[in-house]
Amino acid sequence: MDQPIHPFSELFAQLGLPSEEMAIRQFITMHSPLRADIELADAPFWTDAQSAFLREEKLEDADWAVQVDQLNLALRG
């Protein structure tokens, strides 16, 4: 299996969020657990631009899709 193109921390930077390890942990802790009936891109804490980015990357199975899946799992845990 190929390595992801982008590290997980770069997804946070792409979303305009702090991308340091501690900041990522705090974000996940603050917003977890995400209810099962809410799609990741529909979570209330995203801006419209962030939501659109997450939805498009997943829909198109684009470069960021692996990291978007990883974030989805982290927020559900």
Instruction: Name the CATH topology of 8-76.
Output: Arc Repressor Mutant, subunit A (1.10.10)
Q: What is the pLDDT of residues 10-55, one digit of tens each?
A: 999 999 999 999 999 999 999 999 999 999 999 999 999 999 999 9
Predicted local confidence at residue 59, as pLDDT: 87
What pLDDT score does 63 carry?
Answer: 87
* pLDDT tier at 6, thresholds 50, 70, 90: confident
User: What are the boundaries of each domain within the chain?
Assistant: 8-76
Instruction: Please state, in angstroms and rounded to a whole number, the distance separating the CA atoms of residues 28 and 25.
Output: 5
Reduced to 3 states (helix: H, G, I; strand: E, B; else coil), residue 64 is coil
**Whole-prediction pTM:** 0.90
Q: Is the pLDDT assigned to residue 77 strictly greater than 90?
A: no
Q: Which two tokens stand for residue 9?
A: 């921390």
d(CA 60, CA 48): 18
Decide if 6 contacts 64 (C-beta within 8 A).
yes
